[in-house]
Amino acid sequence: MLGIDDSPFTRKDEKVLVVGVVWRSSLVEGVLSTYVERDGFDSTEKLLRMIKKSKFYSQIRLIVMHGVTLAGFNIVDIKKLSEALSIPVIGVTKRKPRAREVRNALKNFADWKRRVELIDSSGKACKFGNVYAQLAGIGVADVGRFLSSFEGMPEPVRLAHIIGSGIVRGESHGRI
């Protein structure tokens, strides 16, 4: 499994660190990283590149992201990502994604239509235990089975979060 999350950033940062944790048999097998533009459009492409060129590519059976956006509103096209890699992708959050609030925030961008289309294509979030997930390339039953093996956020996503904030801020902060 590959767990993915972004790192803390400020309005001054143009590029934001994204961390991937390769997880096998309850151990960290490797760490991947890339940079994406804050509020940009390159996240899908950057993740594709990061994963395709990795020696771990062939062993990754599932990609689990923290939500479906990185670095602000750099929205990941999880369908495209899943199809291009032939790997299921799920975006997991603890809080229910608030579609209306996201739409309103997106309207601050000149190119909001493109962003709304992207976010809509990731589908509605379904509730699984105490988390919410958006899915691509995988069915609800399989996701339910997978998520039930973790208490809340899957461990490699939690680790990607801790690593990103520990590297960028000098010490990890916050829970996801």
Of 1, 16, 17, 75, the one binding a copy of itself by CB under 8 A = 17
Residue 52 touching a copy of itself (CB under 8 A): no
Scanning 47-55, 89-97, 102-110, 143-151 for contacts with a copy of itself by CB under 8 A, the matching segment is 47-55
Is residue 29 within 8 A of residue 44, CB to CB? The reply is: no
Q: Which residues pair with 91 in a beta bridge?
A: 65, 134
Among 132, 31, 119, 22, smallest CA distance to 72 is for 119
C-beta of 84: minimal distance to a copy of itself in Å?
A: 19
Residue 28 touching a copy of itself (CB under 8 A): yes
Of 31, 109, 114, 139, the one binding a copy of itself by CB under 8 A = 31
Amino acid at 15: K
C-beta of 160: minimal distance to a copy of itself in Å?
A: 10
Interhelix angle for 112-121 vs 99-106, to 10°? Answer: 150
Of 50, 125, 135, 143, the one binding a copy of itself by CB under 8 A = 50
Is residue 71 within 8 A of residue 55, CB to CB? The reply is: no
Distance (Å, whole) CA 37 – CA 85: 22
Residue 32 touching a copy of itself (CB under 8 A): yes
Question: What residues have CB less than 8 Å from 110, skipping those under 6 apart?
Answer: none
Binders of a copy of itself among residues 105 to 164 (CB under 8 A) are 159, 162-163
| Interacting residues toward a copy of itself by CB under 8 A | 17, 19-20, 28, 30-34, 50, 53-56, 159, 162-163, 165-167, 170-172
